[in-house]
Amino acid sequence: MGKNAIEIEELEYSYGRNQVLKGVNLRVPAGSIFGFLGRNGAGKTTTIKLLLGLFRPDAGTCRVKELDSQINPIIVRRTVGYMAEDQQMYGWMRIEQIIKWVASFYPNWDEDFTSRLLEMLELPSKSKVKTLSKGQNSRLALLLALGHRPEVVILDDPTLGLDPIARKDFLRHVIDLLQSNGVTVFFSSHLLYEIEPVADHVAILDKGVIIKSAKTEQLRESIRKFIFTPKQQADFSSVPGILDLLTSGDNVSVTLEDCDEQKRAAIRRLSANGIQETALNLDEIFEVYVIGNRAKGKRE
């Protein structure tokens, strides 16, 4: 078995003339909690649907646990627990009915586990789905995604529409139920502060390509902002990996990618006197990549 739970290569997809994915490459290590970031309309849900073999890609491949989503879509869907964005469920069913109904699709459904989940997630089994609150609704969707004990769980914006406490509660369940059992969790979101404490890897999707994929910790460590007064005729093109450059008065603020001692020294050479170095939080990192990417697109 490979080290990666999910592998995506050069994936392309268009809705009519609108090309949404333009060659997506992504590797999700087995056992990780992987945060898939992108703005609304970046192509997150499309990528997930291709991953599950629900759409046919224009080009490229995706594999889950080394199974091609195009060749073996049924086995892939059996391996994966999937919770759709704003998942719709039949409102007239009672919770116990919908569980039985979904279970009938999976030969490997675990009934004991499901009844334990029912208790843990505090779901009233006799209630009708249409009477559930939003929080209960997403907990039920999570239960339905996990009942067959999948090795890979894909959650598409699972906390959409939940209040902050319900969101934290939901993530708590994800960590307790999934990470503790070595399950790979791939979840998309546009809420960065939500991903930051939970994910050990993140990838940023923008305009149909992955513009960054790294360990969360590494990303935070390697991106630095420097504020200083530059020398006369300082040549910024001598420093590679500048993500953002802002001038205000005599000062410039430079954001650097993959910052190491060599780059630090190069930046120091441009400064007329002192230099101030700061780290960025995930929100700022996201912004600098996505906005930087947009600016680059305009120039080209």
Partner 1 sequence: MPIYRQIIDQISYQVAAGVLKEGDKVPSVRELAAKLAVNQNTILKVYNELCRANVLRIERGDGTYVSSGKQTIAAAQRKKTVSNVLREAAVRAVHLDVSLEQAKELLETEYQAIKSARNKSE
Residues that bind partner 1 (CB under 8 A): 33, 168-169, 171-172, 175-176, 179-180, 196-200, 217, 220, 279
Give the C-alpha separation, 172 to 163, whole Å. 14
Q: Which is nearer to partner 1, 46 or 216 (CB)?
A: 216
For the bound state, the minimum distance from the C-beta of residue 279 to partner 1, rounded and expressed in Å, comes to: 8
Give the C-alpha separation, 41 to 47, whole Å. 11
For the bound state, the minimum distance from the C-beta of residue 34 to partner 1, rounded and expressed in Å, comes to: 11
For the bound state, the minimum distance from the C-beta of residue 25 to partner 1, rounded and expressed in Å, comes to: 24
Please give the helix or strand (H or E) that residue 243 lies within, else none: strand 242-248
For the bound state, the minimum distance from the C-beta of residue 196 to partner 1, rounded and expressed in Å, comes to: 7
52: phi then psi, degrees, rounded to nearest 5: -85, 0
Give the C-alpha separation, 87 to 228, whole Å. 49
Q: Residues with Cβ < 8 Å from 86, sequence gap 6 or more?
A: 157, 160, 161
Give the C-alpha separation, 117 to 144, whole Å. 10
Q: Which is nearer to partner 1, 13 or 228 (CB)?
A: 228
For the bound state, the minimum distance from the C-beta of residue 87 to partner 1, rounded and expressed in Å, comes to: 21
Contact assessment for residue 183 and residue 71, using Cβ atoms and an 8 Å cutoff = no
Q: What is each CA distance from 278 to 196, 197, 256, in whole angstroms? A: 18, 20, 11
Give the C-alpha separation, 4 to 27, whole Å. 6
For the bound state, the minimum distance from the C-beta of residue 29 to partner 1, rounded and expressed in Å, comes to: 12
Q: Residues with Cβ < 8 Å from 232, sequence gap 6 or more?
A: none
The one-character DSSP state at 129 is G
Q: Which is nearer to partner 1, 151 or 200 (CB)?
A: 200
For the bound state, the minimum distance from the C-beta of residue 164 to partner 1, rounded and expressed in Å, comes to: 11
Q: Which is nearer to partner 1, 180 or 237 (CB)?
A: 180
Q: Residues with Cβ < 8 Å from 264, sequence gap 6 or more?
A: 224, 277
Q: Which is nearer to partner 1, 175 or 295 (CB)?
A: 175
Q: Which is nearer to partner 1, 21 or 198 (CB)?
A: 198
Q: Which is nearer to partner 1, 91 or 197 (CB)?
A: 197
Please give the helix or strand (H or E) that residue 74 lies within, else none: helix 73-79
